[in-house]
Amino acid sequence: MRHVGQGYLPAQLYNLSSCYGNKEQLQSLTWTLNHVGIKPIADIVINHRCADVQNANGIWNSYRDDVHHYGRRIDWGDWAVCRDDWHFGGTGALKTGASYHPAPDLDHTNEELRAALKDWLQWLRHEMGFMGWRFDFVKGYAPKYVKEYIDAVSLGEALHLGEFWVDMRWFGNTLDYDQDAPRQVLCDWISASGTGAAAFDFPTKGILQEAVKYTQYDRLRDRDGRAPGLLGWWPQKACTFIDNHDTGSTQKHWPFPESHLGLGYAYILTHPGVPCIAWEHMWDTRLTFIIKHLMRLRKRQDIHAGSKLEILCADRTMYVARIDDRVVVKLGPQQNMGIMLPTSEQGWRLSLAGHDFAVWEKSATELPSGTSGDEPASGNAVSSEPNP
C-alpha cells in the first residue's frame, strides 16, 4: 500500500519531498511566516500510517525509515497497527476510537510508538518551524493522547485544533433544530484532551448553511438565547469555518451554498470564536474584498474569541446580532429591521453590505491608515420601513 501525493495517507513522516516542494522550501516558508508574526500550523495525521512493505502474507503493515533524522526510528512492524484493524493484520492493542479504513490504524496505546511520534513533533517544531498542530481525524484515538502530544512540545501560546467531524442530528433529510448532542460531543472531547486544543465547529457550519439554504434564520438562536453550535457553549474553543478541503473545494462533500459565501463570512468574522478562512475563498475574486474588509473590521473593533454576543432577532427571514456593542450584523432576505436598524444618530455607520447581509460598526472608532477607503458593497440592503 503506497501513499499518494497528499498528506492524508502518510508513510515516511520525515520525507517532506513531494509534488508541492521539498524540505528546504518548506523551512524557508515557515521561518518567513514566523519572521512576520504568522504562526504556521502543521497538519498532524497520526491516526493512521500507510505501510511501505508487505509481510509474507502480502499484507501492507511493515514500515521503513529512509530519511536520516534524530530521535527514535519509525521502521515499525505489525505491532504498531491495532489488532482490530483486521484488514491490515495488526497485532497491537484494540483501537481507542473510530476506524479509518483506507490505511492501517496506529496503536496509540504503545509507548514506543507515542515516543517516536513525540520525537517527530519536536522535529517539526525545532527544525521545521511549526508553532501549532491541527490534529486530523481525532475521533480515531483517545483524546488523552492529544493532550500528551501537545504537552510533549513546548510551544508557548500556540493554537492547536482537533478535526472531530461530529455527526449531526437529522430527521431524514431535515436537520434537527436541537444540536445539543453533537456540540456536547465536542465539549467532551475538548475537556478530555486537557483543553489544550480547540475543535472545528461542525455544528455551527451545518446549522448556518441549513439556515441559508431554506431561509430558516430562526435556527441561529438556541432555546437559551445563545448561538446554536459549539460557538454558543464554548466560543474560546470553537474554530468556526464555512468550508474546508473536505466539505468544499474539489471534494464538495458538504458545501456551503455558493451564493451566500459572503454571508457566511459576515457571520463567523463578526462573531466570537476562532474563525478559519478557506484558502480558496481568500483568493476568490468574488470574496477577497468581503473577507479582507471583515478581517480588518474584526481587528479594528477588537472582536475576539470571547466577545459578548447578543442575538437581537432570529426569525425565519432575519437574524440580527450585536457583538461587544461595537458591531451589528444582519443576515437574511428581510430588509425591514424596524427599531433594530443601527443609525448614525446612535453612533453607527454601515461598514459592508452584500447579498442578504449587512454589517455596521461604531463610527466613533478611529480607523487605521489604509482602511477608511473601504466602501460598503451596497447602500440599500436594509430599511426601517415596512417591506412593500
Residues identified as active-site? 136, 163
Q: Note every long-range contact of 148-155, with CB atoms under 8 Å and residues 24 or more positions apart, other chains counting.
A: 148/114, 148/118, 149/44, 149/46, 149/114, 149/117, 149/118, 149/121, 150/193, 150/194, 150/196, 150/197, 151/194, 151/196, 152/118, 152/121, 152/122, 153/118, 153/121, 153/122, 153/125, 155/125, 155/131
Q: How far is CA 95 from CA 48, 82, 110, 249, in A?
A: 11, 6, 11, 31
Dump strand ranges (E) for the chain: 41-44, 53-54, 60-62, 132-135, 161-162, 170-171, 174-175, 198-200, 238-239, 309-314, 319-323, 327-331, 348-354, 357-362
Please tell me the total number of residues recorded for the chain in this structure. Answer: 388
Instruction: Output the 3-class SS for 165-224.
Output: CCCCCEECCEECCCCHHHHHHHHHHHHHCCCCCEEECHHHHHHHHHHHHCCCHHHHCCCC
